[in-house]
């Protein structure tokens, strides 16, 4: 049996901050959003090779073939008032775009409120879900899908890192860099909105 490149043994040595700890991996699940329960610590992260019921904004589905995308959720426990929590979608999108620019050298940019685009084509999406005292950020990045593996009927034309660069990308380093970028931007957002 093949070991996923998102296995703990592949991801944990690459983590540089507190987000991603503890880290869990499942081969398949309905949605990683449902795997983080209320008593887990901030930074807890779960990734999957395949989601059978991946979700996007406005009730849309997020489809990706197994082993080709980066699909994960991370738990945050923000201190600023809950009215500000929707901003975390932008914070996360900006982090993903920065990580893709750094790692894959693509012109990724945030598109309000929760998409990451490369020249108008969607490469990633963010789904924040808030409940008492916590926000779970679901993040999906199209990494190694070929053009014919990308969904056909989408509001924005889709793309992947493979389609943009002509090469496949290991997912574990991408995940580690996204988590580190997210941590820096999240901490900055909290400082900006800290209650004095």
pLDDT at 61 over 90: no
Chain center to CA of 163: 19
CA distance 47 to 8: 10
pLDDT at 4 over 80: no
Spatial neighbors of 141 by CB under 8 A, at least 6 apart, are: 69, 70, 71, 96, 100, 116, 123, 124, 161, 174, 178
| Token couple for 148 | 């014919």
Tens digit of each residue's pLDDT (9 = 90 or more) over 7-27 = 999 999 999 999 999 999 999
Residue count of the chain: 196
| Token couple for 27 | 């081969």
Query: Nearest to residue 57, comparing CAs of 114, 123, 133, 10?
Result: 114
3-state percent breakdown (helix, strand, coil) of the chain, nearest 5: 35, 25, 40
Provide the whole-model pTM.
Answer: 0.93
pLDDT at 195 over 70: no
Tens digit of each residue's pLDDT (9 = 90 or more) over 155-174 = 789 999 999 999 999 999 99
Q: pLDDT band at 85, cuts 50/70/90?
A: very high
Query: Where do the domains of the chain lie, and which CATH numbers do they carry?
Result: 8-192 (3.30.930.10)
pLDDT at 58 over 50: no
């Amino acid at each position: 049996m093949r070991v996923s490149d998102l296995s703990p043994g592949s991801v944990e040595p690459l983590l540089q901050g507190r987000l991603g700890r503890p880290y869990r991996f499942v081969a398949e699940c309905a949605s990683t959003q449902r795997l983080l329960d209320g008593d887990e610590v901030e930074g807890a992260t779960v990734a999957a090779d395949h989601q059978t019921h991946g979700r996007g904004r406005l009730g849309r589905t997020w489809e990706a073939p197994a082993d080709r995308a980066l699909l994960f959720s991370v738990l945050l426990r923000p201190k600023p008032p809950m009215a500000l929590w929707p901003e975390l979608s932008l914070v996360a999108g900006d982090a993903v775009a920065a990580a893709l620019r750094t790692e894959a050298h693509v012109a990724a940019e945030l598109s309000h409120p929760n998409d990451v685009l490369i020249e108008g084509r969607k490469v990633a999406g963010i789904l924040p879900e808030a409940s008492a005292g916590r926000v779970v950020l679901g993040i999906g990045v199209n990494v190694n899908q070929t053009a014919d593996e990308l969904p056909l009927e989408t509001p924005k034309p889709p793309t992947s890192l493979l389609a943009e660069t002509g090469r496949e990308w290991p997912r574990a380093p991408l995940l580690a860099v996204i988590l580190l970028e997210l941590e820096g931007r999240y901490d900055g957002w909290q400082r900006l909105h800290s209650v004095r």
